Structure 1
């Protein structure tokens, strides 16, 4: 994984890195590996994850076929005037 630091802005690069790690599931994996997980708990967790994935896939498929309505798009709020000013 690679993050470019522009204009020596390390804070922004750290935010970008954290967002990438979050998307990849690294933090969830670290939390899961922090302590021992019994094999029965592992099987139950993996099964629940598989069910969640299958439901999500079925929901997306139903939306594509028009069987259920797609979620409403999020409306972005306009930014503050000082932040939107050109540099």
Structure 2
């Protein structure tokens, strides 16, 4: 999505225009970026969050493996 891009097409209803706009915004991931940058997060906090996320991801993976082994 470019700055100043015109969204309106001839004869297009407001609802379809709004729907198209929302799709473009979500595809460009603008809102998620805004939410992510809403508050300042220090580098150490970013590393800490990334580490916690990795730990949780590994725990989920291990749970999945254990469930598969129980079925056998």
Normalising to structure 1: TM-score of the pair? Answer: 0.41
Larger Rg: 2
Q: Compare the two structures and name the one with the higher helix fraction.
A: 2
Higher relative contact order (CA 8 A, sep 6+): 2
TM-score between the two structures when normalised by the length of structure 2: 0.48
